[in-house]
């Protein structure tokens, strides 16, 4: 049965991005350090990385797709170059309509302007039996958690305290979780929770 999952990298103090995010520095100051395990230990973390990119469809926020400067800059095709790592349909929550973008390698960006429920419905249909992954950013994660739509929360905790930035689990109320499994390498602790 298809699940709704989210894989989010956080600091020990719960930040998913550092302060002062910008087009040049989309993860904010020190935000890159949250993901060192992906780039410096890809072999040791292969099973986790494979699972992250195994979803049947993804949902992301407008700011995760690209910097928002009012009208669409139709030259902008996302942060990821011509072949994004999703290889699946990606539904981008947006306020302005835009034609779908078909990228290389199976990724298509579809822009959804009628809310998170609609995006989820479209993503479920596109994913079929595979999972739907809420890719981020923080505000989108929080909206889906608050609405009770998330089955599994998978945190990837990097060994640093950021002290400032964008906190992942603010404003989601209190959640009861069931701990499903824990693994670790030198640069990360992976914790998987079922949301009850």
CA-wise closest residue to 15 among 138, 136, 135: 138
Give whichever of 52 and 172 is closer to its own copies, judged by the CB atom: 172
List the structure tokens of 92.
């981008």
Residue 183 · residue 48 · CB < 8 Å: yes
Q: CA-to-CA distance for 83 and 103, rounded, in angstroms? A: 6
Q: What is the contact mask toward its own copies in residues 10 to 29, using x (rule: CB under 8 A)? A: --xxx---------------
From 49-57, 79-87, 92-100, 179-187, give the range in contact with its own copies by CB under 8 A.
179-187
Q: Please choose, from the candidates 65, 90, 88, 67, the residue with its C-alpha nearest in 3D space to the C-alpha of residue 78.
A: 65
Nearer of residues 74 and 179 to its own copies, judged by Cβ: 179
Shortest gap between Cβ of 61 and its own copies (angstroms)?
Answer: 20
> Is residue 50 a contact point for its own copies (CB under 8 A)?
no
Say if residues 133 and 55 touch (Cβ distance below 8 Å). yes
Binding residues for its own copies, total number by CB under 8 A: 33
Q: Which of the residues 130 through 159 are near its own copies (CB under 8 A)?
A: 155, 157, 159
Rounded to whole angstroms, the Cα distance separating 31 from 22 reads: 11
Contact residues toward its own copies (CB under 8 A) are 12-14, 30, 155, 157, 159-164, 168-170, 172-179, 181-184, 186-189, 191, 193
């Amino acid at each position: 049965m298809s699940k709704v999952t989210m894989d989010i990298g956080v600091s020990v103090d719960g930040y998913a991005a550092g302060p002062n995010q910008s087009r040049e520095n989309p993860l904010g100051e020190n935000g890159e350090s949250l993901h060192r395990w992906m780039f410096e230990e890809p072999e040791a973390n292969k099973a986790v990385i494979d699972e992250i990119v195994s979803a049947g469809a993804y949902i992301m926020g407008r700011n995760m797709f690209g910097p928002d400067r009012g009208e669409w800059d139709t030259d902008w095709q996302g942060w990821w170059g011509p072949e994004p790592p999703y290889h699946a349909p990606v539904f981008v929550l947006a306020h302005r309509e835009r034609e779908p973008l078909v990228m290389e390698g199976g990724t298509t960006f579809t822009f959804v302007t009628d809310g998170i429920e609609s995006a989820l419905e479209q993503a479920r249909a596109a994913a079929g039996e595979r999972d739907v992954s809420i890719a981020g950013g923080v505000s989108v994660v929080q909206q889906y958690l608050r609405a009770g739509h998330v089955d599994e929360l998978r945190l990837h905790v990097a060994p640093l305290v950021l002290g400032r930035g964008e906190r992942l689990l603010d404003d989601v109320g209190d959640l009861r979780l069931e701990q499903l499994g824990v693994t670790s390498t030198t640069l990360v602790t992976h914790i998987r929770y079922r949301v009850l």
